[in-house]
Amino acid sequence: MTTPAGAVYLPAAAIAERVSELAAAIDRDHRGAPLTLVAVLKGAVVLCADLSRALSIPHRIDTIQLTPYRGSSGGRIRLAKDLDRPVRDEHVIVVEDVVDTGLTLLNVVRALSARGAARVDVCALLDRPHRRLADLDVRYLGYTASERPVVGYGLGHRDRHRSLPDIRFLAA
């Protein structure tokens, strides 16, 4: 398969090892509690699936999808797909692909808390803390991200390249 994606940034083997480490931490922190992984569509689906398979504790998976309001470039979003089941009294881990400003994710965390979740944590594959505008705790973090755009392992560009097994820099 030829791809316009560039050099490998994070190889698949390193990602798999890190996901296993994140799952072990989640197993420790959430043992004995009802747990729901909430994948933010579309980019976090691959991470969520791998994380789910690596967990040893019982859990369920749900999804949400956020889209920007038309004409909005200021971070305003709307909920395009809500959870399928309530999360009252459950531990929830919001699984995200990349955290940039943190504003959107902070609103998701607050909304889930307001719905009665007993605990809401964030698990992100990539984090860009230098872009952070919101005070957001990313409890389970894969990697601090490069500033360069990346694709693969669920991350897409114009909805392409999500199926690459590793994370690559987007070719210029």
The catalytic residue positions are 100
- Rounded to the nearest 5°, which phi and psi values hold at 95? -100, 120
Tell me the CA end-to-end span of the chain in Å, nearest whole number: 18
d(CA 99, CA 144): 10
Q: Structure tokens of 95?
A: 């699984």
Helix (H, G, I), strand (E, B) or coil at 109: helix
CB-based contact 136:109 (threshold 8 Å): yes
